[in-house]
């Protein structure tokens, strides 16, 4: 079953937040990443939101995201950690 993990990466150098969608699967505790796609940018100065729909812009933002993230944890480890937290969240009670 495919899942989607969204992360907001704060690009402090360029004063913007970049929303990135990670499409992945988990099987036997191993994460397989299918795609990492920047979806939108929020500019800090005026809180303007720009949606990323063009492949060139997505590639540029993806390179920036991968270069600027904390590499002490792999993307797979980060996704698995969040996935496990999501699995531990109890379902809302039905009335």
Number of domains in the chain: 1
Nearest by Cα to 74 from 1, 27, 24: 24
Q: Is 5 helix (H, G, I), strand (E, B) or coil?
A: strand
Please report, in tens digits, the pLDDT of each residue of the chain (95 residues total): 889 999 999 999 999 999 999 999 999 889 999 999 999 999 999 999 999 999 999 999 999 999 998 888 999 999 999 988 876 555 555 55
What pLDDT score does 11 carry? 94
Look at residue 30 and tell me if it is in a domain. yes
- Per DSSP, the residues of 10-53 read EETTTTEEEEEEEEEEEETTEEEEEEEEEEEEEETTT--EEE--
Distance CA 50, CA 73 (A): 28
Look at residue 28 and tell me if it is in a domain. yes
Look at residue 95 and tell me if it is in a domain. no
Look at residue 94 and tell me if it is in a domain. no
């Amino acid at each position: 079953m495919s899942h989607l993990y969204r992360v907001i990466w704060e690009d402090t150098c360029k004063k913007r937040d970049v929303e990135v969608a990670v499409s992945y699967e988990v099987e036997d505790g191993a994460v397989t990443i299918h795609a990492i796609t920047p979806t939108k940018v929020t500019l800090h100065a005026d809180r303007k939101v720009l949606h990323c729909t063009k492949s060139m812009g997505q590639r540029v933002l993806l390179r920036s995201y991968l270069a600027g993230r904390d590499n002490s944890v792999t993307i797979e480890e980060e996704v698995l950690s969040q996935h496990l937290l999501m699995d531990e969240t109890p379902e809302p009670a039905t009335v």
